[in-house]
Structure 1
Amino acid sequence: MSAIAFVGLGIMGGPMARHLVKAGHAVVGHNRSPGKAEALAADGGRAAGTVTEAVTGADVVALMLPDSPDVVDVCTRDGGVFDTAEPGTLVVDFSTIRPDVARDLAARAAERGLRMLDAPVSGGQAGAENAALSIMVGGEEADVAAARPLLDVVGSTVVHVGPSGAGQTVKAANQLIVAGNIALLAEAIEFLRAHGADLDAAARVLGGGLAGSKVLDQKAQKMLSGDYSPGFRIDLHHKDMGIVADSAREAGVVAPVAALVAQLVAATRAAGDGGLDHSALHRTVRRLNGESS
């Protein structure tokens, strides 16, 4: 069993940390909102008031933070992960950040004698709560092998996709595919509605054919019922589409559909829906069709 520092105990990180506790690991959690660390302590972990306290003595440091600047800050600040972790410590970043930032952090970690993996996840809140996340891992093969017993606790699909930064590149592609599917599902629902189709029946039959997808399975009913309570917020998907755009431009990749979907996500956020689930992109499609959202 490992001593694990888990920094970032939000919608995703909280359930992941609890699964590690249940698997028998000694987990020390830290979060900017102390109540979330205290909730982990109530479930058998331990709460730390600072990153330094959480990381001291840890074999593994796990991060689940909102954006690239947050990860850079937690890793590189005075008393942060890189200052505090002992040489040989494995740092696993589950956050979704820019691939170039992930590569830079891995190089800086190596200079400190640390081993760092970028291991972003897909599956949303339900995947985190059910330990059914898909985890795309970038880094050295030996480090991935060392982390796999922990990754297998929180994920059902764990794949080493290449060197440092590769996990974040695959996650960016994942977010593009998901956003595109959500946008098309929203348009399809409004198309069906305009023609008077039975929307529930249509969703069932579409799910059984080539149009079927996890997006359709998980998001159609949210759109039909108007329940946009977050599993994964528009604000975060907006950030991820920015990663797609920046990374595509850096590589010289032309991605016109990505640009259009990014604008739809941005419009949803600009309309005040940033705190809703990304299925709330449906609200933007409804507004474009002259409907109240």
Structure 2
Amino acid sequence: MTTTVAVIGLGIMGGPMAANLIKAGHRVVGYNRSPEPVRRLQDAGGHGAGSVAEAVRVADVVITMLPDSPDVEAVALGQDGTGADGIYANARPGTLHIDASTIRPDVARRLAEAGRERGVRVLDAPVSGGEPGAVEGTLSIMVGGDAADVEAARPVLEAVGRTIVHVGPHGSGQTVKAANQLIVAGNIALVAEAVVFLEAHGVNTAAAVEVLAGGLAGSTVLDRKGHTMLARDFTPGFRVELHDKDLGILTAAAREAGVVIPLGALVAQLMASLKARGDGGLDHSALLTLVEQLSGRSAGPPS
């Protein structure tokens, strides 16, 4: 049976995810604040909607892929003061709302309760893998919510991801995603430091990255970001400003739990500094330029 999926947010991640849902045979209805991503979806065989309400009224499953907690709350609960234009006021009872955004765990829990009151089943299902994973349909998806709802959502999630794991109750997916962002940011910072270190010693850096990737130092971050760092190609796959937001979620959640994350706190400050410098729109691998600057090996941020 064909599932109708409404995708709200057709950006760097949401657009490719919607395209993969179409390839998997689902009927996809998309909404985005700017029109060009909707046109791309239609060109790929999807259907456009003029509003959130229009998109979700016909949907069996709603996927949101939005920048931050306030964006998801506004779309789910409505922006007009009455809630009438939101997902939960317009979705049919039993609809699954899969929030693939990265937001605060407490907001994910609050949305789950609000959805339950309106008969909507809510899952927090943030993803990891960046734009390449979204395009290739190989995302890692960490899902929080009721087990039965996770199984109901699995055929849709399998169209966009390769690793799909139920990690616990509502909010757990966002907690695991915060840990993911900690590890990724730390890896990026260390790869950046390694590149600056190698270049300072005049080493063949391309060869060095190749051999490092084959040993214990190897990682997905090194594979995907090492050579783009060497090329100083900071075309955004995941923007600095978004990683800065995610690390803010992490540090707040760690403080709430009484957990000390000294390395995480440091890399969060470095990412915040990069954003404050005006580089929030670059790929997060642009952390390399900050390490260069701190080492006195660069005239400043990229032009």
Within-5 A mapping of 1:117-136 = 117-136=123-142
In 2, Cα distance between the equivalents of 1:206 and 1:18?
Answer: 35
How far does residue 159 in structure 1 lie from its aligned partner after superposition? 0.6
Q: Tell me by how many angstroms 1:57 deviates.
A: 2.0
Determine if the alignment matches structure 1 residue 207 to structure 2 residue 207.
Answer: no
2:292 corresponds to which residue?
286
2:182 and 2:197 mapped to 1: Cα distance? 23
Match of 1:13 in 2: 14
8 Å Cα contact 1:93-1:120 kept in structure 2: yes
Q: Cα deviations across residues 52-78 of structure 1 (Å, max 9, x unaligned)?
A: 100112111110000000000000013
Partner in structure 1 of residue 30 of structure 2: 29
Distance in 2 separating the partners of 1:45 and 1:183: 39
CA distance in 2, matches of 1:204, 1:34: 41
Query: CA shift at 1:190, angstroms?
Result: 1.1
Q: Which residue of 2 aligns with 1:183?
A: 189
- 1:226 partner amino acid: R
- Of residues 243, 248, 264 in structure 2, which corresponds to 1:242? 248
Deviation at 1:24, TM superposition (A): 1.4
Q: Among 144, 152, 155, which residue is 2:150 paired with?
A: 144
Deviation at 1:111, TM superposition (A): 1.0
Q: TM-score, normalised by structure 1?
A: 0.99
Partner of 2:100 in structure 1?
A: 94
Q: Per the alignment, in what secondary structure is the counterpart of residue 32 of structure 1?
A: coil
- Structure 2 equivalent of residue 75 of structure 1: 76
**Alignment RMSD:** 0.8
Which runs of no fewer than 5 residues in structure 2 stay unpaired?
Answer: 79-83
Offset, 1:176:
0.4
- Give the drift of 1:291: 2.0
Secondary structure of 2:162 counterpart: strand
Shift of 1:3: 1.1
1:256 is aligned to 2:262: yes
* Partner residue, 1:193: 199
Identity of aligned residues (%): 63
What is the Cα deviation at residue 256 of structure 1?
0.9
The one-character-per-residue Cα deviations of 1:140-190 (angstroms, maximum 9, x if unpaired) are 000000000010010011111111000000000000000000001111111
Paired residue secondary structure (1:153): coil
Partner Cα distance (1:128, 1:258) in 2: 26
Kindly indicate whether residue 230 of structure 2 is the aligned counterpart of residue 224 of structure 1.
yes
Distance 1:119 1:66 in 2: 14
Q: Contact (CA 8 Å) 1:34, 1:49: kept in 2 or not?
A: no
CA contact (8 A) 1:7 1:31 kept: yes
Amino acid at match of 2:266: L
Q: Distance in 1 between matches of 2:224 and 2:22?
A: 28
SS in 2 for 1:6: strand
Letter in 2 for 1:262: A
